[in-house]
Every structure is written in C-alpha cells, then in structure tokens.
Amino acid sequence: MNLALFDFDGTITTRELMPDFVRMATTKRRLMIGQIVLAPVIVGYKAGVVSGNAVRERIADFAFRGLPRQALHDAGERFARVTIPGVLRPDAMARLQWHREQGDTIVVVSGSFDLYLSHWCTQHGLELLCSKLESRDGVMTGRFDGAQCVGAEKARRVRERYDLSRHPVVYAYGDTHEDRDLLALAHRRWYRGREID
C-alpha cells in the first residue's frame, strides 16, 4: 500500500482558509480590534521580517483566547460543511479519489487547525496530521498545543506516525516553501499541481 501526503491550504483548496475560519468563529468586536492590534505583525509578515509561525501564534491568541472549546468545535464542523466545499480544487479532489481507488493511505498534513480539518478529513475518510490549539477546562488558551505543523515539523510528524519503508511509493503534494520538507519525503512529488524531480 502506497502513502499519499497532501498539504491542505493552497493544495487541496484554492486559498489559505485560516482567515476565513477566524472571521466565522470570532466575534465582530474582536475582529475589529484585531485588525488594529495585529496590523504591525501582518505588515511585518508581508515585508518578510515576521515569520508565518509568529503571525499564526498572534492571530490564534487574539482570536480564540477565552472562547469556549465547544463553540469553536461547532464552528469548525459548520466551516467544514459549509465553507470548505466551495474552495476545493477539482484537480486535487480527483487526485485524492485516484489514491483512494488505488487503496493508498491518504494523509492531510497541514498547518491548519484541527478545529475544522478534523471534521473535513472525517467526512472524506482521510487521516490527519495538523496544528492543534490548546484548551483547558473547556476554554481556549489561545496557544498552540505543541509545535505548528509546518516546515520541518510536517516531515517529523509523518516519520513519527508512519514507517516510510513499508510503503512502496510515497507521494507528496504541496504548494509553498513550508511544504519542502514534506515533499522531500516522497518518491513522487507535486508542487503547485505539477510533478517535479
């Protein structure tokens, strides 16, 4: 049985979905204040002086700290059911189906939040490795639970969960520099929809 590793945002979908989920799951008041408070971080990210990890940490902290875990779980289920279907790439979904027909193990490996990816992957019968947000006593802390699943962490988590030597062929699909370590695990790799060496 082969192994197929798929990034999510920009690979299976047409765009990054974290901002969409934040808008759905956070109060309007918090969103308005956040646009002001987080503006310097966003500008720094676009200028290349603030890392993607730092931006995601600040956004998650501001958007979700203090919110009930169950409310975000419910928002994630709704997001997976209502929003994600409208931004799926037909070619990526066809490739997922091809792997399913081959009997391959298919894993979504993503920096996106478990809050919605867990629902979407369950709907499609896919395994999942992703970033998780921490909660205590049913309340979100605003922190990540462990490392963000990006860059080298993607490859580390795959190696931790799967014995790559047991899979005759490993396929990987990605679309940004944060997927390079994931792609490096594979015998056959696709970057932005095209197979590369």
DSSP for 18-52 reads: HHHHHHHHS-HHHHHHHHHHTHHHHHHHHTTSS-H
pLDDT for the residue 102 = 97
Residue 197 clears pLDDT 90, i.e. is over it: no
pLDDT in tens, 36-47: 999 999 999 999
pLDDT in tens, 94-104: 999 999 999 99
Helix (H, G, I), strand (E, B) or coil at 139: strand
pLDDT in tens, 83-120: 999 999 999 999 999 999 999 999 999 999 999 999 99
Helix (H, G, I), strand (E, B) or coil at 170: strand
> What percent of the chain clears pLDDT 90, i.e. is strictly above it?
96
Quick one: residue 139, left, alpha or beta (phi over 0 = left, psi -120 to 50 = alpha)? beta
pLDDT in tens, 143-185: 999 999 999 999 999 999 999 999 999 999 999 999 999 999 9
Task: Quote the crossing angle between the two packed helices 52-64 and 39-46, to the nearest 10°.
Answer: 160
Distances (CA, A) of 46 to 22, 42, 50, 185: 19, 6, 8, 29
pLDDT for the residue 171 = 98
The helix (H) or strand (E) run that includes residue 96 is helix 90-102
Give the helix, strand, coil percentages of the chain, each rounded to 5.
Answer: 50, 20, 25
Six-digit token pair at 90? 């037909």
Distances (CA, A) of 129 to 46, 117, 147, 195: 27, 9, 12, 23
Distances (CA, A) of 116 to 57, 63, 130, 186: 17, 15, 10, 26
Quick one: residue 132, left, alpha or beta (phi over 0 = left, psi -120 to 50 = alpha)? beta
pLDDT for the residue 120 = 98
Q: Which CATH architecture has domain 3-196?
A: 3-Layer(aba) Sandwich (3.40)
DSSP state of 83: T
Give the pLDDT band of residue 20 (cuts 50, 70, 90): very high
pLDDT for the residue 43 = 93
Report the predicted TM-score, pTM, of the whole model to 2 decimal places.
Answer: 0.94
- Mean pLDDT value across residues 71-78: 97
